Amino acid sequence: MRPAPAAGRRVNLLGRPNVEAQPPGYSMRGRKSWALLAYLLLCERAPTRRELASLLFEGADDPLGALRWCLSEVRRALGGDAVIAGDPVRLQLSPGVIVDVSRVLAGPSHEAVRVPGLGSELLEGLTVEEAFDFESWLLAARRRVAVATVQVLREAALTAVRQGAYETAIGHAVRLIALTRLDEDSHALLVELYRLVGDDRAAERQYDIGAGILRVELGEPPGHALRNARCRSLLQLAGKYGSRPHILIGRAQPGGVVQALACG
């Protein structure tokens, strides 16, 4: 008899993998079970059983038997919210199941940005010894998730500032820089957001930080993006983002909203 679906089941593959459900269900412990679940959720086409056996269990005495055992582990962890069957193997989840990595990859950004594990590595710390083809796939999948995470944070920051939620936008931009510290555009975005809330001291400090990283890590001076973030007038910045400056800290520089920071 198939188990009943659980309320609010969440499959979390970002960071340390786990499945949340009420009531709590079976907890998978095997690395290969988590690897199998991630592969079934993210692979571009349904794999055959022999392909899965070769991918993860090539060194086992009975690769297909080991695959059947891991599939049963995944079924137990997902309970009545999943059907795993066929050859090729297809995983079908109940509509109410939330998969964190799928939300980051597919959006929308206003939902993806609220994923608790956003910014964490896919299957953090997980390796499967001697499963070289799987490790190659996982490396590419992690990069795909990292790129999507950057896009989510950037879009969320821009959406927030257009809505006048400047502190929310700044929070997203700070998280973005943590993931893209060598990207000049990310530093420029945060400089501009600090200026839009009137925190010119923070804007100057962030400019210096971004310029220092580019100089030390890449051997390059600040480019147009960072220099323009520092030198554009507030009116220009407001036009760029389709919003009006929202001075929360201190006062605008002399000359009001048309004044730019000092540019060298």
Inside any domain, residue 154: no
Residue ranges of the chain with per-residue pLDDT less than 70: 1-7, 244-264
- Treating both helix axes as pointing N-terminal to C-terminal, what angle do 184-196 and 132-162 enclose, rounded to 10 degrees? 20
Please name the residues in contact with 59: beta carbons below 8 A apart, sequence gap of 6 or more: 130
Inside any domain, residue 247: yes
Inside any domain, residue 264: no
Number of structural domains in the chain: 2
Residue 184 and residue 222 in contact, taking contact as beta carbons nearer than 8 Å: yes
Residue with tokens 């659980």: 6
Are 134 and 169 contained in the same domain?
no
Inside any domain, residue 235: yes
Are 133 and 14 contained in the same domain?
yes
What pLDDT, on the 0 to 100 scale, is given for residue 8? 76
Inside any domain, residue 145: no
Instruction: Please write the tens of the pLDDT for every residue from 171-203.
Output: 999 999 999 999 999 999 999 999 999 999 999
The whole domain housing 17 covers: 9-138
Inside any domain, residue 194: yes
What pLDDT, on the 0 to 100 scale, is given for residue 3? 53
Are 115 and 28 contained in the same domain?
yes
Are 28 and 126 contained in the same domain?
yes
Are 133 and 175 contained in the same domain?
no
Are 24 and 98 contained in the same domain?
yes
Residue 84 and residue 40 in contact, taking contact as beta carbons nearer than 8 Å: yes
What pLDDT, on the 0 to 100 scale, is given for residue 264? 53
Among the candidates 138, 155, 180, a domain finishes at: 138
- Radius of gyration over alpha carbons of the chain, in Å? 24
Are 31 and 100 contained in the same domain?
yes
Are 174 and 79 contained in the same domain?
no
**How many C-beta atoms lie closer than 10 Å to residue 98's C-beta?**
15
What pLDDT, on the 0 to 100 scale, is given for residue 258? 38
Cis peptide before 108 (omega within 30 of 0): yes
Are 229 and 116 contained in the same domain?
no
Are 16 and 101 contained in the same domain?
yes
Are 26 and 118 contained in the same domain?
yes
What pLDDT, on the 0 to 100 scale, is given for residue 16? 95
State the number of CA atoms in the 13 A half-sphere of 262 facing the CB.
Answer: 5
Inside any domain, residue 236: yes
How many angstroms separate the CA atoms of 190 and 188, rounded?
A: 5
